[in-house]
Structure 1
Amino acid sequence: MNITSATLTRAAAVAAALAGTAYIVIQFIHPLDVIESLSTQRWVTVHILSFAEAVLALIGFAGIYLRQLRQLGLLGLISYAMLALFFVLQAAFNFAEALIAPLIAIDAPRLAVDIVGLFGRYPAVNDLGILAGVPLVGSILYVGGALLFGIAIIRARVLSRGAGILLIAAAAITPVAGALLPHTLERMAALPMGAAIVWLGWSLWSNRMPAA
């Protein structure tokens, strides 16, 4: 098999499109972050899907970044690094939610709920140490990275500017939804982000010739 830059770019485009689609689907099937959910197959399935989505997004954004490497400049590098770190953090946390939290729930149910409730905005009873800072760090990387990367895409004029604008809008909506909406409705703020990632994947597929 002859592996070329065009082949890798197509693979990254497909990965981005799949990641965005999975991100949208997850919001509709995610169970409540409560102890009763941890013993269900749905919990494990959703978080394995979330883990796969994070890995696919990491691959997709790598291709999106490399396609317009020179045009993105320093802003693109910083914002891509922020998004990449977010997806690494997400993958690690999803792995723990899928395969570790259900085991902890057997002997330490309160601790398990405290961990999985970090992003559900449930107050923790146990001292989670540095783990308690994960939601704040993740939010900064997610919102800040998407906002700056969207700006960099618009300035680069290589991939779809509309996708860049949607990425910025999705990033801006996220903290507003988090402040005003309950967690079950807050999840819907992820839909434009998923759509933006799919759009970027399509734009990368359509514009996959190496930049000069």
Structure 2
Amino acid sequence: MSATPRPGKTKQFSMAPGERDLSRAAGMAAAIAGALFIAVQVGHPAMDVSLVTTTDWAVRSTAKALMAALALAGITGMYLRQVRQTGILGFLGYVLFAAGYLLMFGIEVVAAAVLPALAPTAPGYVADVLAVAFGGTATHGIGGMQTVIAVSSAGYLAGGCLFGIALFRARVLARWASALLAAGTVATVALAVLPESFNRPLAVPTGVALIGLGISLWRARPATGSDNSALPAVEHAAAR
């Protein structure tokens, strides 16, 4: 007989050994992504064309690309861990959030590998890309980068909010981290009206949320009981 989970507690669901290994790997990826997301904000210089050709830029852009790839793996593991529990809201949130991180990965690859080569010959284009990436407007056209950056931002904001809410309602992973993920991603909307100095601090809550969710996913253990949805059938069989 399974005990009904108390309000505010996380549910436990059984996993096969292979599934648990994948969940733990995804949890580790999410935790590392969160740590990287926070680390790249520390001492981040002002976004300027002169920064693009420096070693600092190359290291930070590479770290951001790695962070996006690890975050994508992490949230995929979170979603697969609780497909039934998160429902359509979880699916929608995951698709948007994953799209945001996938495009973010592409943007950071361009930032690390392409923009440094363009900076000496096309500084105006690079300056416009940096401006759009941080919510500003381009003086001249930047081509498809405008759409990629816009879609990535929309996916990150809307997807992070919906995915965090779905995780919170599912009660499978740490609820405080799920709520922080939803709040942290939505809070970045305020950057449109806040000074540039707020860009770095507002990234920290999302990083902490990824670390918390990653650890929660890594620590998930196979349950001794079964999902509560099986209770009616079990009780009916026992009564026969």
TM-score greater than 0.5 by the shorter chain: yes
Q: Is the CA contact 1:67–1:208 (under 8 Å) kept in the aligned structure 2?
A: no
**CA–CA distance in structure 2, aligned partners of residues 45 and 79 of structure 1:** 30
Q: CA offsets per residue over residues 16-50 of structure 1, 9 Å max, x none?
A: 00000000111124332211101110000000000
Q: Is the CA contact 1:31–1:43 (under 8 Å) kept in the aligned structure 2?
A: no
**CA–CA distance in structure 2, aligned partners of residues 13 and 66 of structure 1:** 12
CA deviation after TM superposition for structure 1 residue 167, in Å? 1.2
The match for 2:137 is 123
The match for 1:17 is 31
The match for 2:211 is 198
Q: Which moved more, 1:27-36 or 1:71-80?
A: 27-36
Q: CA offsets per residue over residues 129-155 of structure 1, 9 Å max, x none?
A: 342233432222111111111111122
Q: Is the CA contact 1:167–1:192 (under 8 Å) kept in the aligned structure 2?
A: yes
Indicate the percent of aligned positions where both proteins have the same amino acid: 36
The match for 2:21 is 7
Which residue identity lines up with residue 198 of structure 1 in the other structure?
I
Structure index of larger Rg? 2
The match for 1:86 is 100
**CA–CA distance in structure 2, aligned partners of residues 76 and 197 of structure 1:** 16
* Runs of 4+, deviation exceeding 4 Å: none
The match for 1:168 is 182
Given the superposition, is the C-alpha separation of residues 164 and 35 from structure 1 closer, same or farther in structure 2, using an over 3 Å criterion? same
| Greater helix proportion | 1
TM-score (norm 1): 0.92
CA deviation after TM superposition for structure 1 residue 121, in Å? 3.5
1:113 equivalent among 127, 148, 155: 127
Q: Is the CA contact 2:160–2:186 (under 8 Å) kept in the aligned structure 1?
A: no
Which residues in structure 2 correspond to 1:18-37 (within 5 Å)? 18-37=32-51
CA deviation after TM superposition for structure 1 residue 187, in Å? 2.3
Aligned residues: 209
**CA–CA distance in structure 2, aligned partners of residues 73 and 121 of structure 1:** 33
Which residue identity lines up with residue 196 of structure 2 in the other structure?
H
Q: CA offsets per residue over residues 31-84 of structure 1, 9 Å max, x none?
A: 322111011100000000000000000111111111111111111011001111
What 5-or-longer segments of structure 2 have no aligned partner? 1-16, 228-240
- Secondary structure at 1:27 match in 2: coil
Q: Is the CA contact 1:21–1:195 (under 8 Å) kept in the aligned structure 2?
A: yes
What 5-or-longer segments of structure 1 have no aligned partner? none
The match for 1:137 is 151
Correspondence 1:209 to 2:231:
no
